């Protein structure tokens, strides 16, 4: 596998080795030894799968203090995945990265603890899977507005479908820094 470091410390794009032939393909989506060597040392405790239609945008979500690291990939379809560094004191605080994840490119993104995460579906449907390093704890969930102009996320679609909860998330500047994770 190839690991691509990003401009945001800790955030990585993983390109698994794909073994393909006329029957299809095989790839590893998690291997403790290989991913540990790549610097991903999370102990995963929960796996999630979501199915969404084109134009659905989920996010931007994070948990604090029960922070979750997430290893995300697409089983079917295509998404633009976004991660935002929300670690107070980080030199890249408030900066974001987007990555195209699809069943065709088979890339994964490692979103470390302290980052908000979201994605927008660009194919007719997308089946997204992710491993989490902490259990979902709704009482610790935070969110940031998907279209916060200060984050300048280059979403592929402007007309999106949001949940009522995601629609109500505040801009980053309106969240007290004491409510955010520390670098």
pLDDT tens digits, 84-133: 999 999 999 999 999 999 999 999 999 999 999 999 999 999 999 999 99
Whole-number Å distance between alpha carbons of 93 and 5: 17
The pLDDT of residue 120 is: 98
The pLDDT of residue 32 is: 95
- What residue ranges define each of the domains in the chain, with the CATH number in brackets? 2-179 (2.60.120.10)
Q: Which of 25, 35, 61, 140 is catalytic?
A: 61
61 catalytic residue (yes or no): yes
Q: Which of 35, 64, 73, 130 is catalytic?
A: 130
Distance of CA 150 to the CA centre of its chain: 19
| Cβ contact 56:161 at 8 Å | yes
Structure-block tokens of residue 5: 């470091």
25 catalytic residue (yes or no): no
31: phi then psi, degrees, rounded to nearest 5: -150, 110
pTM: 0.95
Report pLDDT digits (tens) over 129-148: 999 999 999 999 999 999 99
């Amino acid at each position: 596998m190839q690991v691509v470091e990003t401009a945001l410390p800790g955030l990585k794009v993983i390109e698994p080795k794909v073994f393909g032939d006329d029957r299809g393909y095989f790839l590893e989506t998690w291997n403790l030894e290989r991913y540990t060597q790549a610097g991903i040392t999370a102990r995963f405790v929960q796996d999630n799968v979501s199915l969404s239609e084109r134009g659905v945008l989920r996010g931007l979500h994070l948990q604090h203090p029960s922070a979750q690291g997430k290893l995300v990939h697409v089983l079917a379809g295509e998404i633009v995945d976004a991660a935002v560094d929300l670690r107070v004191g980080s030199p890249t605080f408030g900066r974001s990265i987007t990555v195209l994840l699809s069943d065709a490119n088979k890339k994964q993104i490692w979103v470390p603890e302290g980052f908000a995460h979201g994605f927008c579906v660009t194919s007719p449907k997308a089946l997204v899977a992710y491993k989490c390093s902490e259990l979902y704890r709704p009482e610790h969930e935070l969110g940031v507005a998907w279209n916060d102009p200060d984050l300048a996320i280059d979403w592929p679609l402007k007309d999106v479908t949001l949940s009522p909860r995601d629609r109500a998330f505040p801009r980053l500047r309106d969240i007290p820094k004491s409510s955010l994770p520390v670098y």
